[in-house]
Amino acid sequence: MLNFSKVAFTTTASGFKNYASKDFSVSVPAQNLAAGNAVFYTASTTLDNTKAISQVQVRYTNLEPHYRVVQGETILRYPNYSTPDFEVGSIVYFSGGVLNVFTYVANQTGGTVAVPAFTITCRAFLFLAPFN
């Protein structure tokens, strides 16, 4: 049964009564990727999602200025969508009480590309469900 005494209506996350968040990241070094190659990184943090509604946001710091909400998968084609040199994609999964953001960087050209150093910066929000 829904317990309305635990429901908060707000435009910012700080208004939620039962709310948890974590910031975490992993660095990607500058590197050259040959045609068809990819590299993989995982950023992880402990965050139990029991009875929680989660939202995970990812920003590829040094590649773009804003966060993206990960719903299924988020993809950045760099430097632009129509003619990318490489693609960066992330998915989110829980393993026990650990939240993981798995990210790949894949070469999208027929030759070697230079991938600049960047940071996969993650923000996770858990809005604890208002159930008894």
Report if pTM > 0.75.
Answer: yes
Q: Quick check: is 21 in a domain?
A: no
Return d(Cα 105, Cα 108) in angstroms, integer: 9
Residue with tokens 């590299």: 39
Angle at 26 between CA 59 and CA 90, to 5 degrees: 50
Q: Quick check: is 92 in a domain?
A: yes
pLDDT digits (tens, 9 = 90+) for 65-109: 999 999 889 999 999 888 899 999 999 998 888 899 999 999 988
Please determine, for residue 2, whether its predicted confidence score (pLDDT) is greater than 50.
no
Q: Quick check: is 124 in a domain?
A: yes
- C-alpha torsion sign, points 73, 77, 83, 86: negative
* Cβ-contact 115, 40 below 8 angstroms: no
Q: Quick check: is 82 in a domain?
A: yes
List Cα–Cα distances, 62 to 20, 50, 83, 129, in angstroms.
Answer: 27, 34, 19, 35
- pLDDT score of 4: 44
Q: Quick check: is 98 in a domain?
A: yes
Q: What is the count of structural domains for the chain?
A: 1
Q: Quick check: is 115 in a domain?
A: yes
pLDDT digits (tens, 9 = 90+) for 26-68: 999 999 999 999 999 999 998 877 667 678 999 999 999 999 9
Q: Quick check: is 44 in a domain?
A: yes
Range of the domain at 61: 31-128
Q: Quick check: is 13 in a domain?
A: no
